Amino acid sequence: MSWLKKIMLCGLVSATITSCDDTPKHPDTIARGVIDISADESFKPIIEEQLQVFDSSFPEAKITVHYKPEAECFNDYFNKKARIILVTRQLSKAEKEICDQQKIFPTSEALAGDGIAVVVNNNSADTALDMQSLNGILTGVYKTKYTVVFDNQASSTVRYITDSVLKGNKLGSNVFAAKSNKEVIDYVAKNPGAIGFVGMSYVYANEDTSQSGTFIKDVKVVALKNEKDGEFYKPYQAYVALKSYPLTRKLFYINAESYHGLGTGFANFLGSYRGQLIFLHAHFFPLKEQITIREAKVNNQ
């Protein structure tokens, strides 16, 4: 074999080896594949809307979302049952140390602003509450005895209320947990002595009804007092954006992927212009797009 043929043969073998090394090592990409993710159940309506558009845009991608209490979402993340989770807080210091131990290199970002809505029966006289009264209801010492209903004892809503409203006080014996945000709404609608706490998206009328943009009629949405300006606010989009409504929080994604997989693709979509527009139309406040809020005066004449 001549020296030229030897060089050509070596080049062919080298090219073959390089080609094998370039073969994708992962079964999914940002636009195709199959994965399971976990999401806080209080965000189910908006995540379902996002998935509908994502699926139509990327027909080769299949994302199965498991809606759970927030604590279970984090369990799925660390047990490697879900590469990406959608929750209302960032990783804690202790959780970041677990990531280091497990060689997980998380990425996370806030996607949208949200609020926790307080709902009462349509026959209830309490349609506006200050934070002291709300604290009394939650601890069972308020003048009116309420049955307080949450979606789940391990939910983000319970955690937020415990940390941000009670601030060290314990929930009263009058507090119970249903199985979902929808069940909280249903229970309060049927029981005059009940008060419920749900994700904001559950109290808005569906987009396909004539009531679009208004609150549902099954229950009353309570106005809460902002202690700084003394005004009462309901969980409208602008009041969440300005944090005038007292019970505001954020939706985060936490991603464990170390490559550009389908979880990364979905996270990118949620932060893209289209994903942020879906949040906006669903009454959330987009945090990845610049939104201008202007004051308007209503002329009643």
Q: Flag whether 89 is in a domain.
A: yes
Residue 207's pLDDT is 58
Q: Flag whether 300 is in a domain.
A: no
Q: Is the pLDDT of residue 10 over 50?
A: no
Q: What is the largest CA-CA distance in the chain?
A: 100
Q: Flag whether 218 is in a domain.
A: yes
- What percent of the chain has pLDDT above 90? 82
Q: Flag whether 4 is in a domain.
A: no
The verdict on 120 and 193 lying in the same domain is: yes
Q: Flag whether 39 is in a domain.
A: yes
Residue 2 amino acid letter: S
Selection from 205, 183, 212 nearest residue 196 by Cα? 183
pLDDT band at 155 (very low <50, low <70, confident <90, very high): very high
Residue 168's pLDDT is 79
Q: What is the pTM of this model?
A: 0.85
Cα–Cα distance measured from residue 91 to residue 227, given in angstroms and rounded to the nearest whole number: 29
- How many other C-beta atoms are found inside a 10 Å radius of the C-beta of residue 87? 24
pLDDT band at 206 (very low <50, low <70, confident <90, very high): confident
Instruction: Give the residue-averaged pLDDT of 91-100.
Output: 96
Q: Flag whether 254 is in a domain.
A: yes
Number of structural domains found in the chain? 2
Selection from 242, 267, 282, 276 nearest residue 109 by Cα? 267
Instruction: Give the residue-averaged pLDDT of 145-158.
Output: 95
Domain enclosing residue 272, as ranges: 33-113+250-286
Strand, coil or helix: 206:
coil
The verdict on 143 and 48 lying in the same domain is: no
The verdict on 241 and 257 lying in the same domain is: no
Q: At what angle do helices 262-271 and 44-57 cross, to 10 degrees?
A: 110
Query: Are 290 and 276 within 8 A, CB to CB?
Result: no
Burial of 100 (0-12, 13-18, 19+ CB in 10 A): exposed
Residue 84 amino acid letter: I
CATH number at residue 53: 3.40.190.10
Query: Are 61 and 32 within 8 A, CB to CB?
Result: yes
pLDDT band at 14 (very low <50, low <70, confident <90, very high): very low
Higher pLDDT, 79 or 16: 79
Q: Flag whether 102 is in a domain.
A: yes
Instruction: Give the residue-averaged pLDDT of 128-156.
Output: 96
Q: Flag whether 52 is in a domain.
A: yes
The number of residues making up the chain comes to: 301
Instruction: Give the residue-averaged pLDDT of 52-77.
Output: 97
The verdict on 206 and 195 lying in the same domain is: yes
The torsion defined by the Cα of 171, 174, 176 and 181, in degrees rounded to 10, comes to -90
Cα–Cα distance measured from residue 99 to residue 62, given in angstroms and rounded to the nearest whole number: 26
Which contiguous run of DSSP H or E holds residue 215?
none
The verdict on 86 and 154 lying in the same domain is: no
Instruction: Give the residue-averaged pLDDT of 214-232.
Output: 96
Cα–Cα distance measured from residue 254 to residue 264, given in angstroms and rounded to the nearest whole number: 10
Residue with token string 């005004």: 231
The verdict on 66 and 166 lying in the same domain is: no
The verdict on 90 and 216 lying in the same domain is: no
The torsion defined by the Cα of 19, 25, 26 and 27, in degrees rounded to 10, comes to 60
